[in-house]
Amino acid sequence: MTWGMSMTWGISNVTVASSMKYLVTVNIKVVDKLWMVLSSHLTSKENWRTQADLKGAMVLKLFIVKFMVFSYPFFYTIFLKPHVEGCPGGGIDACVVELNDSLMIFFITQVVTEMAVHVIQLVLTYQELKLRSRQPRRRQVRRNTPTWIHRVVLRDPAFHVLPELYDELHV
């Protein structure tokens, strides 16, 4: 039985091998998002003396895990796979081709994902601004605006005949 004829979980090894570059990319993206949420939650539960210490700890945790998650699959393909599993077709050249394919898929996916996130953020921001522009604008109260009593006194013509009362309220 040759390598291409064997099966893994009922799927031919050729299909599994060709889909691995996509599965690696999906794995990287999913673990990245999960670790971002988990790391932020765990770091916020720790007791940090300053906000800078909190941010430093979060950056360190994110960097270490993301570095491993993002680089390990590619490191494994080129350095460990030839010695552990062997490359399909034999020789290091097959692993280099697999690494190139995986990196290309990952790079394209990363660029498309980041562009989609930015486009979605722009659309949501545009919609929010459009919604705000349709709402009637409220007058902004200045710090030197008189209190409500002063506004009533200024608007009511009956108070214009009693300037001394206005002066008392204006203290």
Number of domains in the chain: 1
CA 42, 44, 48, 54 dihedral sign is positive
Residue 143 maps to a domain: no
Q: What is the pTM of this model?
A: 0.57
Residue 128 maps to a domain: no
The range of the structural domain enclosing residue 18 comes to 3-110
**Percent of residues, the chain, with pLDDT higher than 70:** 75
Q: Read off the pLDDT of residues 108-131 as tens digits, 9 standing for 90 and up.
A: 999 999 999 999 999 999 999 888
Amino acid at 148: W
Mean per-residue pLDDT of the chain: 78
pLDDT given at position 155: 55
Residue 153 maps to a domain: no
DSSP states of 96-143 as a string? Answer: HHHHHHHHHHHHHHHHHHHHHHHHHHHHHHHHHHHHHHHSPPPPPPPT
SS3 content of the chain, % helix, strand, coil (to 5): 80, 0, 20
pLDDT given at position 2: 47
Residue 134 maps to a domain: no
Q: Read off the pLDDT of residues 46-77 as tens digits, 9 standing for 90 and up.
A: 888 898 998 888 889 889 888 988 888 888 88
Residue 7 maps to a domain: yes
Residue 78 maps to a domain: yes
Residue 3 has pLDDT above 70, yes or no: no
Q: How sure is the predictor about 147, in pLDDT bands with cuts at 50, 70 and 90?
A: low
